Amino acid sequence: VKHASRGLNAARAALAGRRYAACRGCWLVAVAAVLSCGCAGPNLNAARDDIFLGRFDAALALLEDLPVSHPDRALHLMERGMAAQLSGAHTNAVRDWLRALDTIEALDTYSLSRGAASLAFNDSVQGFRGWPYERTLLHAFAAKSFLALGMWDDAAVEARRQIARRNTDHLRAFPPDPYSIYLSGVCFELIGDTQNAALEYRIAARLLPDLGIDPATGRFGSAVTPTAPDGELICFVGLGRAPRWAPPGAPQGRSGFEPYVTFHADGAPLGRSRTFAATPDLLAATYARLALLKGVKTVSRIALKELAAQAVAEEDRFLGELTRLLLFATETPDNRHWETLPRFLQVARVPCPRDLTRYEAAFHAPTGAVLERRTLTQPLVRRGNLAVSFIRDIPPAPRAGHIRNNL
């Protein structure tokens, strides 16, 4: 009996020691959770604001020093690339976007340490890979900068990479993006690969039946003429600001009542832009696709956190509540997005003079009222009878009206 009693006491002591160790472990986890859960950072948010105010140099200065092994490295590169493209530094833009794509590709290998951390804290500790439609648009925007540089073959390389990524995403039932698909068609058309161009145009036509895209030529709207036009201007238009998060069940994207841009050359009207994709729609569809997966993971994480808090509370109720508070304070949704993307992704394909060197763009509200007029000479590149350009409704320099609009 004496020996049994001693053994029981030793077992109790050992159990208490283990409980203490477990309690200490939970505490360490809770404190680490609070310390490690960063956010996008003030620089990134400030840079985004600068971009939308047209202060591209200020944004680039804020994003000059990139975090080396930060989970948001790809996001920084994506936003910096956008600032570079909007400022006209296309070489820097493609450099940043190609690095972002390399960073994302490296994340194909699932990190056990970060995966475990995301189960303990939240999803923000995992490397940002971009949402599927953002990854597709990354190729599309890089292709646009290659086009601006007259590097047709490289633009087509990005088109092929985009198709490869789209095929993977298609298998996982993510929503297709007709804007990127049409852009790929243009890239192929520019290098004379008309068959692959027609394939892309056909997919875009199927996704957007209301636009009447001719699968053979890619023409739509005013570009559809009985005879081939002398020259054609293809302009990729970005309007508005991508949403920061997806309100459940309320996409505010392509509805037929969107702002648009009309084009003129030497005073003669050429045509208008049409909406091919809207980021709120793409975001909402992606959220819906991932809702179940994310829900299961969040529930599992909350259960784990509750278990840890209860383990501590068995030893000390006050510490248990404190642990619960710390652990659940880190329970935030992963709302990281490429926020400088436009809300509306539009394309205009209009007949134009063959020797077009400048054009006027008028930005219209959904009601038709003209908000702003701009004359553009660049980016405007030509190959054969196709002129390619792109435009964004962000003012090139801060002006009172624009500042008020963006605020």
> Which residues lie near another protein (CB under 8 A)?
98, 108-113, 150-154, 156-157, 160-161, 164, 171, 191-193, 383-384
* For another protein, the closer CB: 50 or 154: 154
> What gap in Å lies between CA 308 and CA 305, rounded to an integer?
5
Mapped onto helix, strand or coil, the DSSP state of residue 21 is: helix
Scan for tokens 């450099």, then name that residue.
95
> What gap in Å lies between CA 224 and CA 157, rounded to an integer?
28
Smallest gap from Cβ 288 to another protein, in A, equals 21
In the sheet with 344-352, reading across from the earlier edge strand, the strands are 274-278, 344-352, 231-239, 386-392, 380-383
Both tokens of 134, joined, read 């953002």
> What gap in Å lies between CA 337 and CA 135, rounded to an integer?
11
Smallest gap from Cβ 276 to another protein, in A, equals 23
Q: Say if residues 37 and 122 touch (Cβ distance below 8 Å).
A: yes
Smallest gap from Cβ 83 to another protein, in A, equals 22
* For another protein, the closer CB: 120 or 394: 120
Q: Which residues pair with 363 in a beta bridge?
A: 261, 372
Q: Are strands 260-265 and 359-364 parallel, antiparallel or unpaired?
A: antiparallel
Smallest gap from Cβ 158 to another protein, in A, equals 8
* For another protein, the closer CB: 40 or 151: 151
Smallest gap from Cβ 346 to another protein, in A, equals 26
Q: Are strands 231-239 and 344-352 parallel, antiparallel or unpaired?
A: antiparallel
Q: At what angle do helices 152-171 and 178-190 cross, to 10 degrees?
A: 150
* For another protein, the closer CB: 41 or 127: 127
Smallest gap from Cβ 146 to another protein, in A, equals 9
Q: H or E segment at 367?
A: none
Smallest gap from Cβ 190 to another protein, in A, equals 10
* For another protein, the closer CB: 65 or 355: 355
Both tokens of 393, joined, read 């409704």
The CA-based diameter of the chain, rounded to the nearest angstrom, is: 107
Residue 325 half-sphere exposure toward CB, CA atoms < 13 A: 6
> What gap in Å lies between CA 61 and CA 189, rounded to an integer?
37
Q: Who's near 317: CB < 8 A, 6+ residues apart?
A: none
* For another protein, the closer CB: 152 or 344: 152
Smallest gap from Cβ 102 to another protein, in A, equals 11
Q: Is the peptide bond between 366 and the residue preceding it cis, with omega within 30 degrees of 0?
A: no
Q: Say if residues 238 and 214 touch (Cβ distance below 8 Å).
A: no
* For another protein, the closer CB: 191 or 380: 191
Q: Burial-class residue 377 by CB neighbours within 10 Å (0-12, 13-18, 19+).
A: exposed
* For another protein, the closer CB: 163 or 391: 163
Smallest gap from Cβ 194 to another protein, in A, equals 13
* For another protein, the closer CB: 119 or 311: 119
Q: Is the peptide bond between 379 and the residue preceding it cis, with omega within 30 degrees of 0?
A: yes
Smallest gap from Cβ 267 to another protein, in A, equals 26
* For another protein, the closer CB: 195 or 375: 195
